[in-house]
Amino acid sequence: MKPVIIDENKIYAIGYSYATDWKNLCRTTDRAAYWSVIDFSNMDKSAYAGIENKSGMEIAFWLCRETGDFEMRFFFGERVDAVGAVPEGMEVLEIPEAKYAVFTLDSQFTSADQSAYVEAIRNLWQYIIEEWLPGSGYRHDDEKCNFEVYSGDVMQIYIPIC
* Residue pair 53/83 in contact by the 8 Å Cβ criterion: yes
Distances (CA, A) of 1 to 74, 137, 148, 162: 27, 15, 17, 19
Nearest to 71 by CA among 25, 28, 29: 25
Q: Where are the domains of the chain?
A: 4-160
User: pLDDT: is 110 or 158 the higher one?
Assistant: 158
Query: Region 11-31: what's the mean pLDDT?
Result: 68
Q: How many CB atoms lie within 10 A of CB 2?
A: 8
pLDDT for the residue 24: 57
Sign of CA dihedral 38, 159, 81, 12: positive
Homologous superfamily of 4-160: Regulatory factor, effector binding domain (3.20.80.10)
Distance (Å, rounded) from C-alpha 109 to C-alpha 119?
9
Query: Region 12-27: what's the mean pLDDT?
Result: 71
Checking if the pLDDT of 6 tops 80, the result is yes
Half-sphere exposure of 2 (CA within 13 A, CB side): 3
Write out pLDDT tens, residues 83-123. 989 999 899 999 999 999 999 987 676 666 777 888 888 88
* Residue pair 99/6 in contact by the 8 Å Cβ criterion: yes
Distance (Å, rounded) from C-alpha 153 to C-alpha 98?
25
pLDDT for the residue 144: 86
Checking if the pLDDT of 8 tops 80, the result is yes
Q: How many CB atoms lie within 10 A of CB 116?
A: 13
Question: What percent of the chain is modeled with pLDDT above 90?
Answer: 41
Checking if the pLDDT of 32 tops 70, the result is no
